[in-house]
Chain A
Amino acid sequence: MARVKQKKDKRITWKEVKRQKSLLIIAFFVTVYGFIFYYWPLTGWVMAFQNYKPAKGILGSKFVGLDKFKFLFQDAAFIRVIRNTFCMGALNLVTTTIMAILFAVLLNEIRSTIAKKLVQTISYMPHFLSWIIVTGILHDALSSTGIINDLLMRSGVITNAINFFAHPKYFWPIVAFANCWKETGWNAIIYLAAITAIDPSLYEAASIDGASRLQKIRYITLPGIKPTIMILLLMNIGNVLNAGFEVQYLLGNGLVQSVSQTIDIYVLNWGISQNDFSLGTAAGIFKSAVSIALIVICNYLAKRAGEERLF
C-alpha cells in the first residue's frame, strides 16, 4: 500500500475548480446528508445532562449535570447489564474466532475440490438468514420436543426434557452457539483467503523433511495467518459492545433477563418504552465512550505489534 506521492500536485486553479464542478456538487449534497443523519444526532447527547422533557425540547429542559450518570451507576440493573454485554461479547468473540479458524484450517486440508466447494457453500448459508429466523429455528431445536432434548433423552443423558430458555446458566452458551452457527462459515472466508496467500513451497519443503499434516498446520498454516487473526481480533474487540442486541433481545425472556439484558436493550427499555430519553441517552453515551476507548487502545496495540493499522 505504498502511496506514491503524486507529482501533479499543482496549485488549485479556477479552471480546475470549474472542471470539478460535478464532483463538488456531489460532495456538497453527500456532506449535507452526512451532517443531518450522522453528525446532528450527536447534539442529542446534551439530553444526557438534562432532565429532558419532550414538550420543552432540548433548549427548554433543565440541566441536571451528571445526575443521570450517577443514577446509572447506582442502578444494580445497569451494572448487571454492563457485565452481560462484556461477558457475552467476549465469549462470542472468542468462540466465533476459534471456530472460524478451525473451520478454515480444516477445510483447507480437504483434498477434493468439489467437496470443499460444497461444504463452503453450505457454511455461508446461515449468514444470510436473519436473526429472527435463526432464533426461531434455535427455539424449535431447543424446545421440549426439539432435536436436542430428543437426542439427550434417547441417549439416556436426561430423563425429562430440559427447558433451556428457563435457566440463566444456559443463556450465554446458547447465544455463543447461535453466533457460531450463523457466522463460522462467513468469518472463515477471510482466513481461507489468507491461507491461500501462503507460499506453497513452504509446504513442499516441509513434506520433504517428513512433516506430518498436523505439524504443517502448526508450523506453517497458523503462523501464516497470524497477522490476519491479530488484525481481525483487534478490529472486533472494538466492536464487542456493539454485538449485543438482536440475539439477546429475541432469545431473552423474563426468566433469564438477569443474564440476557445488554446495554442496547437497556437503552431501548428506558428510552423508548419508558420515555426517559435522558437516561437512555446517558447509557448510550457510556457505551460509545467505552467502544471508542477500546478501538483506540486496540489501534495502539496493533501499531505496537507492528501490524497494519485499523484505521
Chain B
Amino acid sequence: MKKKKIKSSLGSKIFTILNSLFMIAFVIITLYPVLNTVAISFNDGIDAVRGGIYLWPRKFAIKNYETVLAMENLIIGAKITVARTLIGTVSSLIVNALLAYVVSRKRFLFKSQLSLFWVITMYVNGGLIPVFLLYRNLHLTGTFWVYVVPGMVSAWNMLVLRTYMLGLPDSLEESAQLDGAGYMTIFWKIISPLCKPVYATIVLFVAVGQWNSWFDAMLYNRMKTEYTTLQYELMKLLSSVMQQSGSAASASERGSAAAAITPLTIRAAATVVTMLPIICLYPFLQRYFVTGLTIGGVKE
C-alpha cells in the first residue's frame, strides 16, 4: 500500500514535468514565429537577409515601418478593411439577429419553414463560378458592397443566435405582450439587451472574418485598386513576383542611398501592422468566443 503510493506520486511528478515541457514547447512553437517576424520587422533590411535574427533585432531600424506606412495601396487597403469590418459587422449582426428573433418566436407562422430554408444553404451552394456570374450580373463586382452584401446572412450565425434566444424564458415576451408591446418593441427593448453576450460572439466572428478576408478582393475587385484590402495587399507583398517589383518601387521612391530595406523586412513590417489590431483585441474577448463556440458546436 505504502509502496504503491510512493510509486504513483513519483509517476505523477514525472507526468507533471513532461506535461509542463509539452506546454512550454507548445507555447514556444506558437509564439516564436510571430515574435521572430516582429524582430525582423525592426531590423535593418540588408542585415536581415543574412539571417540569424531570432527574438531581437540585430541592427535596429524603424525604416521598414516608415516605408510600409508610406505605401499608398496599403493605406487604401487599411481604410477599406476598417470600413468593411465596421459596416459588414453591424449590418450582419442586425440582419442575423432579426432573422434569429423571427424564427425563435414560438407562434411565428413559418418558423420551421424559414429555419429549414436557411439550414439548407449551409450544405448546398452554387459554387464559385455561378456565384461569380451572379455578382457580376448584379453589378456587385467592382464595388465596395461585394464585401458586405453577399455574406450578410449566415445560417451558422443565425443558428447560434436562435439557440441563445430560445434559451430565454417565454414569460418575458408574454408579459410584455400583455402590456401591449409589439414584436419589434420586444426585440429592441427586451430580447436584444439580454442577448448582449451572444451578440458579442457574433460580432467577434464576423469582424475577424471581415478583417482577414482577401479572396473576395482578389476575385471581384482585382482591377479596382480603390477597393483593395489590407490582407490582399499583404498577399501581393508576400507573393514572390510582386516582391521584387514592390521592393524596386519602394527603393526608388526612397532614393537608392536610403535603400536599407528589403522585401523580407518590408513583408515583416506589413505583417505586423496587419495582425496588430487583432492580437491586441482578442485576449479581452475570450469569454465571448468560448460561449459562442460551445453553443454553436453542441446545439447545432
Contacts and interface: CB of A to CB of B under 8 A. Distances in A.
Interface of A: 1, 6, 8, 12, 16-17, 19-20, 22-24, 26-27, 30-31, 33-34, 36-45, 47, 103, 106-107, 109-111, 115, 119, 121-126, 128-133, 135-141, 144-147, 150, 181, 184-185, 189-190, 193, 210, 212-214, 232, 235, 246, 250, 264, 267-268, 271-272, 277, 280-281, 284-285, 287-288, 291-292, 295, 310-311
Contacts of B95: 30
Contacts of A232: 297
Given A106-B19, A130-B234, 20 more contacts: A16-B109, A23-B108, A30-B98, A31-B114, A36-B138, A103-B26, A110-B23, A125-B34, A128-B278, A128-B279, A129-B275, A130-B274, A132-B235, A136-B234, A137-B34, A146-B51, A184-B26, A190-B293, A190-B297, A277-B129
B127 A287 contact: yes
A266 to B, nearest CB: 10
Contact of B238 (A1, A27, A36, A136): A136
A38 B156 CA distance: 14
Contacts of B212: 128-132
Contact of A122 (B27, B109, B150): B27
B33 A138 contact: yes
Interface string B28-67: 0111111011001000000001111010000000000000
B26 A119 contact: yes
Contacts of A246: 215
Interface stretch (B82-90, B118-126, B194-202, B254-262): B118-126
Contact of B11 (A107, A135, A212, A292): A212
Interface string B104-123: 01111110001001110111
A111 B152 CA distance: 43
B27 A119 contact: yes
B168 interface: no
Contact of A42 (B31, B102, B130, B182): B130
B231 A130 contact: yes
B283 interface: yes
27 contacts: A8-B107, A27-B110, A27-B114, A30-B153, A34-B117, A37-B149, A40-B126, A41-B131, A44-B126, A106-B19, A128-B208, A128-B212, A128-B278, A130-B275, A132-B214, A133-B271, A137-B37, A145-B49, A147-B33, A181-B30, A189-B290, A212-B12, A267-B127, A271-B129, A272-B219, A281-B127, A311-B123
B27 to A, nearest CB: 5
Contact of A124 (B32, B282, B297): B282
Q: Considering the complex of A and B, which 10 residue pairs feature the smallest CB-CB distances, nearest first?
A: A41-B126, A44-B130, A145-B51, A284-B127, A130-B212, A41-B130, A38-B121, A271-B129, A280-B129, A137-B33
Main secondary structure of the interface of B (DSSP, over half): helix
Nearest to A43: B130
A93 to B, nearest CB: 16
Contact of B184 (A17, A22, A40, A280): A22
Main secondary structure of the interface of A (DSSP, over half): helix
Contact of A311 (B5, B107, B231, B300): B300
Contact of A145 (B50, B127, B213, B286): B50
Given A30-B99, A125-B282, A133-B275, A285 B127 contact: yes
Interface string B265-281: 00110010011001100
- Kindly name the residue among B4, B30, B130 whose own CB sees the greatest number of chain A CB atoms within 10 A: B130
Contacts of A107: 23
Given A33-B152, A136-B238, A185 B127 contact: no
B22 interface: yes
A213 B34 contact: no
Given A34-B117, A133-B274, A140 B128 contact: no
A181 B184 CA distance: 45
Contacts of B20: 110
A267 B128 contact: yes
A111 B197 CA distance: 29
A287 B51 CA distance: 43
